[in-house]
């Protein structure tokens, strides 16, 4: 059983949804980012979703775009992302899912990228802009090197396409709960229970819900229906707010992660 499967099974046995924390690798700098990852890993996160900084992050709103800019300005490269993963893996067994874009995978060579990710300690990859119809090479490389392939379902995805995505995905399915880009929202998107049920009828994989979830109450509302809850921008904002004093980042993230993760328990 993979670390990702184990995380969902462990959460299910404890009557809770898995809490998945997103951070951008290298934000605001390498050492602070290592500390940030270990802070969320030690404070209730079941899975770490680690963004690979990219100059044109199409699915991301301003919060995560600026996080990528900070990381790139601090010297992050693909090789340093893998170095960061190795540092985290040396201290934590938390499952790590890379959140990336296909150009980064392709430009490094698909097999070489996936092999390096696996050797560093990555457990799965979510390639945001790679549809399953064009993802055979990444899927095969991931199978060869033991990585899960996480795929996205959106509110506009048809039933027929959900079946195609479900057939290609491993690890879990990421339900993007609203149209548009990442970012904190005051209210949850409508229709999450029905959407999760629609996916569940077509896949036995765990379903994690993200985009716009920012409070303990919102985590609890999603956890009542989904197998996993993903929070990103609300955590990344803490890094932004404390970037001038990096020593404050890890404690701030630890406290916020513990609060958010507490909402993942099912009633």
Is the previous residue joined to 28 through a cis bond, with omega within 30 degrees of 0? yes
- Closest alpha carbon to 202 in 242, 231, 239, 160: 160
End-to-end CA distance of the chain: 27
- Closest alpha carbon to 232 in 10, 62, 103, 74: 62
- Quote the CA–CA distance of 37 and 32 in Å, as a whole number: 9
How many Cα neighbours within 13 Å face the side chain of 5?
11
Q: Under a CB-based contact definition with an 8 Å cutoff, are residues 78 and 68 in contact? A: no
The sign of the CA dihedral 216, 218, 219, 223 is positive
Of 49, 123, 148, 227, catalytic: 49
Q: Under a CB-based contact definition with an 8 Å cutoff, are residues 229 and 7 in contact? A: no
- Quote the CA–CA distance of 26 and 24 in Å, as a whole number: 6
Q: Under a CB-based contact definition with an 8 Å cutoff, are residues 4 and 148 in contact? A: yes
Q: Under a CB-based contact definition with an 8 Å cutoff, are residues 242 and 252 in contact? A: yes
- Quote the CA–CA distance of 128 and 210 in Å, as a whole number: 13
Alpha-carbon 37 to chain mean position: 12
Q: 49 an active-site residue?
A: yes
Of 27, 60, 123, 227, catalytic: 60
Residues with a catalytic annotation lie at: 49, 60
């Amino acid at each position: 059983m993979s670390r990702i499967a184990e995380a969902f099974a462990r959460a299910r046995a404890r009557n809770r949804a898995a809490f998945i924390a997103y951070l951008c690798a290298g934000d605001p700098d390498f050492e602070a980012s290592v500390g940030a990852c270990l802070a969320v890993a030690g404070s209730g996160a079941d899975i770490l979703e680690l963004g690979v900084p990219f100059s044109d992050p199409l699915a991301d709103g301003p919060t995560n775009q600026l996080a990528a800019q900070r990381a790139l300005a601090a010297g992050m490269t693909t090789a340093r992302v893998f170095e960061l993963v190795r540092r985290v893996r040396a201290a934590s067994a938390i499952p790590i899912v890379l959140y990336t874009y296909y150009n980064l995978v392709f430009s490094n060579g698909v097999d070489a990228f996936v092999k390096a990710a696996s050797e560093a300690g990555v457990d799965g990859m979510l390639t945001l802009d790679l549809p399953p119809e064009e993802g055979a090479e990444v899927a095969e490389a991931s199978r060869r090197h033991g990585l899960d392939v996480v795929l996205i379902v959106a509110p506009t995805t048809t039933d027929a396409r959900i079946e195609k995505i479900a057939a290609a995905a491993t690890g879990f399915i990421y339900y993007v709960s609203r149209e548009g880009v990442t970012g904190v929202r005051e209210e949850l998107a409508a229709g999450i229970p029905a959407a999760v049920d629609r996916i569940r009828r077509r896949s036995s994989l765990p379903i994690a819900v993200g985009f716009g979830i920012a409070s303990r109450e919102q985590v609890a509302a999603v956890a009542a229906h989904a197998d996993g809850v993903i929070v990103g921008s609300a955590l990344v904002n803490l890094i932004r707010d404390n970037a001038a004093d990096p020593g404050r980042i890890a404690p701030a993230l630890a406290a916020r992660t513990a609060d958010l993760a507490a909402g993942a328990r099912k009633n």
